[in-house]
Amino acid sequence: MDLSIKIKNKTLPNPVGVASGTFGYGEEYAPLTDLSKLGAIYTKAVTVEPRPGNPLPRLVETPAGMINSIGLANVGTKGFLEEKIPFLKTLSCPVILNVAGSLEEDYAEVIRRVDFQDAIWGYEVNISCPNVKHGGLAFGTDPVQVERLTSTLRKLTDKPLIMKLTPNVTDITAIARAAEAGGADAVACINTVMGMVVDIHKRKPAIPAGTGGLSGPAIKPVGIAAVYRVSKAVNIPVIGLGGIMNADDAVEYLLAGASALQIGTANFIDPDTSGKVLAGIKKYMREAGFTKISDFHGYF
């Protein structure tokens, strides 16, 4: 059974990775799940300078989901290289650095500073965070900016470049095509869906920013629809995420056109979800007579 997935000139050992922002920099979950079995760790986003993040409260639970407004709190590029890389270097699974910024130059600067590190397998470019005032979502909603940013970053690295797309747009396929035209090696669908909860007792939004990013099972149909449409619009691999809680959810994404997957919010509920999802995918493949991940594609 071949579970590997090729992106650019490199290979992910299996399709099940853990999503950025839900797994820290790996170390936090090391006692709770076998990191060597992960298809990839997509790190917490890294910006040029450290960011404290948004005011609290930053979380609120919703029916079958949660809304976060973390605001890209992170250690910055220097902190990443000094504090996080030593542990990440010890891992056998691919480490994909999630890169964020406010300006095009910020994204470029992060890649320039870290690209020499062999421990970094590739980049996931966060152009879809709904929780920062500048950059983030603003990049991800404009095809012209997406193509230009992708093209700029493409020139800076030979490592795989994955653009992470937002569902908060009219036509996600236009953004995906722009990423492909700019030289992206894959796209990831989806980042969180903009959502809001109002505290009726305090008569104000439950989180200070008002809106935040909705994740969890509540957004799974949105993610699957995005993967389905984007996979038909581009010729590069599509990485699916959004509300995957178990192997059945993962298989849905794979049948809809995903080549690889990310487990996000489910890590908070069961830190070993990725291991269980991988085992479930293998079982499904055995029963269906599939021998490789690409066997999933083209069923509808």
Partner 1 sequence: MKNFKSKILSQKSIALGYMEMKFSWPEDCETPKAGQFLTIKIQEQPIPLLRRPFALSAYNQEEKSASIIYQVRGTGTEILSSMKDGETLDVLSPLGNSFTMPKKKETPLLVAGGIGLGPILYFARELDKAGYSPILVFGCRDKSLIPDLPPLKNGRIQFCTDDGSEGFHGSSVDYLNCLDSSELKNAYVYSCGPTGMLKACHNFAVSKNIPSETAMEEMMACGVGACMGCVVELAEGQEKQYARVCKDGPVFQSRIIKWT
Q: What does the binding site for partner 1 look like in residue numbers (CB under 8 A)? A: 21-24, 28-29, 31-32, 44, 52-53, 55-61, 63-66, 68, 70, 73, 216-218, 245, 265, 267-272
Q: Which residues contact 125 (CB under 8 A, 6 or more apart)?
A: 98, 99, 107, 149, 150, 153, 161, 162, 163, 164
Alpha helices in the chain (DSSP H): 76-79, 85-88, 104-114, 137-140, 143-154, 172-182, 220-233, 247-256, 266-269, 273-288
| Least distance to partner 1, CB of residue 238, Å | 25
Q: Which residues contact 105 (CB under 8 A, 6 or more apart)?
A: none
Q: Which tokens go with 283? A: 């079982």
| Least distance to partner 1, CB of residue 243, Å | 9
For residue 24, the 8-state DSSP code is T
Residue of 5, 85, 99, 129 with catalytic role: 129
In the complex with partner 1, the residue whose CB is nearer, 102 or 265, is 265
Alpha-carbon gap, residue 229 to 257, rounded angstroms = 8
Q: Give the CB-side neighbour count of residue 168, counting CA atoms within 13 A.
A: 21
Alpha-carbon gap, residue 254 to 15, rounded angstroms = 9
| Least distance to partner 1, CB of residue 82, Å | 15
| Least distance to partner 1, CB of residue 295, Å | 29
In the complex with partner 1, the residue whose CB is nearer, 66 or 260, is 66
In the complex with partner 1, the residue whose CB is nearer, 57 or 210, is 57
To the query of whether residue 93 is one of the catalytic residues in this protein, the response is no
In the complex with partner 1, the residue whose CB is nearer, 214 or 233, is 214
Residues serving a catalytic function are 129
